[in-house]
Amino acid sequence: MGLMGDKVRLNSPPRTETSHTGTDRNTEDAAAISALGAQLLRRGDLDGAEPHLRAATAAGDRAAANNLGVLLHQRGYPDEAAGWWRIAAVAGSAAAAHALGRHHRERGDEPAAHYWLRHSAESGHTLGAYALADLLEHRGEDGAEEWFRAAADRGHREAAYRVARIVAAQGARARDGAREGKPGKSARPGEGESGTREAAEKAEHEAEQWYRQAAARGHRKAALRLGTILERRGELKEAGRWYLTSAKDGEARAACALAFLLRDAGDEESAAVWWRRAAEAGDGNAANALGALHADRGERQAAERWYRAALEAGSDNGAFNLGLLCAAQGRVAQAEQWYRRAAYAGHREAANALAVLLLQRGDAEGAEPWFSKAAEAGSVDAAFNLGILYVGRGDDRTARVWYERAAAAGHTEAALQVGIALLREGDEHAAERQLRCAAGGGSVEGAFRLGALLERRTPREDVALGRPASGRHEYEEWYERAAEHGHRRAQVRLGMCAAARGEVVDAARWYRAAAEAGSAHGAFNLGLLLAREGSEPEAALWWRRAAEGGHGRAALRLALIHARRGELAEGQRWCARAVELGPAEVAERAARLRDALGTELTA
């Protein structure tokens, strides 16, 4: 135990302090002897320092008494050291009071520790203020923040870090209160949610300043947290500098965070270096990242080695990733083992993956509890999968509950299923909200269905007029988003919109895209467009493709072409196909034409 807590600092006697006995000359001699003893102690020469410190202590030098306590503590005589610290503390040495307080805390005598640490802190001793704050926080008593601030103001970096943690926690509570609509402690009466939010922002800003102060003094955890704040704010360059500072000081989490920044910036090789450094220091996240890096490169043995290292570091993700790796290699039994290990440890996505594996094997009963466990733990995918499971059982009501839960958490396909259900119920406004969530989240089908809903609700006269003055109708924008991702029905609808405006080239482009992807409607409409442009032979080719794909109207068009050409037997064949395919109106016309062709053939 030293006077500075984590480092020994020896005190020279204050120049204004006088001995309790003897003359000024004796005091000067004691001070000189004390200074010599302190110098020898600082060099580690305990044997040389001890007689000088004892002599100066006997002459009444309180700094010597304090340093004698330090020497005896280093020799392994803590009780004797405490005796000298007490003498020095009673004589007014704040450093000795701090050392004595720490001695009592180590012995479990917190009341005595509190007494001496407060004495030290109130005398202006920085380490005493920090140690008192730490004790108060440990005991859950008021005043810890005040003394941490006092020590931080005097340059104590750990105290600055602790103040930052306290203030950050206050900001988080205020932020939570703002989300729940509850005023925070620092919000003035009548300010409500805005005052709480303002208090949260103020606390977060103050916390950042304290982290910055501690980091500037070499506190590696503060540098890590400062980097995290800056990265969250998008200030990546400065965040990287603080991560680098912390990582160089041995903070594995900072090395891992720095590696992710480098990876995102495209420097994968440098990222691998820092991940390796962090992983070798025991960081499970870094080991998992290295495993993923090697897996992406196809280096599966290296990936497995790092995933196992992550597991040994206590990361459940290691087991989950090993399961994914085995599943990708077709080692299903091993994948199941790893998934189970991670799932039993509480890894929700492993529980979901295990359930999917069991469901694929036909074990729906075994899958359900794992889906439920994962969903209850917050897995959005598991909630969606439960919806699919219950749909398969014909239990649409329970499926709807899980779909809604997943949709509320942002699952796009779940939002799509809820939107479809609402459309069936006729609640178009609620359906629109869900479909917007699905489409906005990237669901191609959601974009198409949203477009169809909006088009249906657009007055016919507005559709007939074509583009609105502000540009395209909104439903066309959603159709296009779906069409660009290959949605055939959206491509057909876009073609119809363009054709209605007379934009033949665009209409043909979208019809052709749909037709070439296998859409019978796209092929039929493309044929109509070509026929109107005078290209009936090419139109017939697309109608044939549409008819072969089950399009009755296309079959009827082919029958008419062959009838005009006098190819009566071929015309009858396509009439028969049109009757078979329908719809009713087409079937009726095709039947009449078939009968007429038959009469002509037998005439």
Per-residue pLDDT tens digits for 304-334: 999 999 999 999 999 999 999 999 999 999 9
**Per-residue model confidence (pLDDT) at position 195:** 64
Q: Which residue has the tokens 């925070």?
A: 184
Contact between 517 and 499 under an 8 Å Cβ cutoff? The reply is: no
Mean pLDDT of 174-188: 59
**Dihedral angle, C-alpha 214, 234, 282, 266, nearest 10 °:** -140
Q: Is 547 exposed, middle or buried (0-12, 13-18, 19+ CB in 10 A)?
A: buried
Mean pLDDT for 281-299 is 95
Q: What is the mean pLDDT of the chain?
A: 90
The stretch 271-300 carries a mean pLDDT of 96
Mean pLDDT over 120-141 rounds to 96
pLDDT for the residue 563: 92
Euclidean distance between CA atoms 580 and 587, whole angstroms: 7
Query: Is residue 183 pLDDT above 60, yes or no?
Result: no
Residue 187 above 70 pLDDT? Answer: no
In 297-427, alpha helices (H): 300-312, 316-328, 332-344, 348-360, 364-376, 380-392, 396-408, 412-425
198, burial (CB in 10 Å: exposed 0-12, middle 13-18, buried 19+)? middle
Write the pLDDT tens digit of every residue in 9-26: 333 333 223 334 444 566
Task: Decide if pLDDT at 556 tops 60.
Answer: yes
Could you give the count of Cα atoms lying within 13 Å of 114 in the half-sphere of its Cβ? Answer: 12
- Chain segment 46-90, per-residue pLDDT in tens: 999 999 999 999 999 999 999 999 999 999 999 999 999 999 999
- Contact in structure between 520 and 554 (CB atoms under 8 Å): yes
CA distances from 321 to 304, 317, 360, 408 (A): 9, 6, 19, 27
Q: What is the pLDDT of residue 13?
A: 33
Instruction: Please state the rounded mean pLDDT for residues 287-302.
Output: 95
pLDDT in tens, 220-266: 999 999 999 999 999 999 999 999 999 999 999 999 999 999 999 99
Which pLDDT value is given to residue 472?
76
Q: Which helix (H) or strand (E) holds 275?
A: helix 268-280
The Cα-based distances of 524 to 462, 488, 520, 533, 554 in angstroms read 26, 13, 6, 14, 6
Q: Give the least confident one: 49-63, 366-380, 463-477.
A: 463-477
Name which residue leads in pLDDT, 222 or 172: 222
The residue with greater pLDDT, 190 or 274, is 274
Report CA 513 to chain centroid distance, whole Å: 38
Cβ-based neighbour number of residue 175 at 10 Å: 18
| CB-CB contact of 291 with 311 (8 Å) | no
Task: Give CA–CA dist 476/481, Å, rounded.
Answer: 9
DSSP H stretches of helix in 565-603:
568-581, 584-602
Q: Who wins on pLDDT, 457 or 127? A: 127
pLDDT of amino acid 291:
96
C-beta of residue 243 within 8 angstroms of C-beta of residue 232: no
CA separation for the pair 588, 176 (Å, rounded)? 67
Grade residue 594 by pLDDT with cuts at 50, 70 and 90.
Answer: very high
Residue 15: the pLDDT is 29
> With pLDDT > 70 as the criterion, what percentage of the chain qualifies?
90
Closest among 441, 522, 525 to 489, alpha carbons compared: 522
Question: Do the Cβ atoms of 128 and 98 come closer than 8 Å?
Answer: yes
Task: Give pLDDT, residue 175.
Answer: 78
Helix axis angle, 568-581 relative to 536-548, nearest 10°?
A: 50
**Are the C-beta atoms of 553 and 560 separated by less than 8 Å?**
no
pLDDT tier for residue 186 given thresholds of 50, 70 and 90 = very low
Extended strands (E) in 116-166: none
| Residue 13 DSSP SS3 | coil
Find the mean pLDDT for residues 467-493: 87
The pLDDT value recorded for residue 25 is 60
Alpha-carbon span 497 to 479, nearest angstrom: 10
pLDDT reported for residue 90: 95
On the question of pLDDT at 188 being above 50, the answer is no
In this prediction, residue 198 carries a pLDDT of 85
pLDDT at 199: 84
pLDDT at position 459 is 78
Identify the pLDDT of residue 216: 96
Does position 412 have pLDDT exceeding 60, yes or no? yes
Min mean pLDDT across 112-121, 410-419, 457-466, 534-543 is at 457-466
* CA separation for the pair 122, 143 (Å, rounded): 13
SS3 state of residue 434: helix
Q: Which is higher by pLDDT, 9 or 147?
A: 147
pLDDT of residue 217: 96
User: Looking at residue 173, what is its pLDDT?
Assistant: 86
With a CB cutoff of 8 Å and minimum separation 6, the contacts of 129 are: 120, 121, 147, 148, 150, 151, 154, 156, 159
Burial class (CB in 10 A: 0-12, 13-18, 19+), 466: middle
Cβ(46)–Cβ(75) under 8 Å?
yes
Cis peptide before 583 (omega within 30 of 0): yes
Contact 504, 525 (CB under 8 A): no
pLDDT for 389 beyond 60: yes
What is the pTM assigned to this prediction?
0.72
Report the percent of the chain where pLDDT is more than 90. 85
pLDDT at 1: 38
Mean pLDDT in residue range 412-441: 96
According to DSSP, residue 427 is labeled -
Q: Which range, of 3-7, 285-289, 401-405, 586-590, averages the lowest pLDDT?
A: 3-7
